[in-house]
Chain A
Amino acid sequence: MQVVKKYTEPELVQLLKQRSQNAYSYLYDNYSGALYAVIVNVVADNELANDVLQEVFIKIWKQIETYDESKGKLFTWMLNIARNASIDTLRSKSFNNNRQNKELTENDYSAAGVEQTVVDKIGLRKIVHQLKEEYRVLIELSYFQGFTQDEISRMIDVPLGTVKTRMRTALIQLRQIIS
Chain B
Amino acid sequence: MNITDLYKGSLEAIVLQLIRQQGEMYGYELTQKAREISGGHLKITEGTLYPLLHKLEAEGTLSSELKPYGNRMRKYYRLTKAGVQEQEKASVSLQEYIGHLQQFLNPKLA
| B partners with A | no
Residues of A within 8 A of B (CB): none
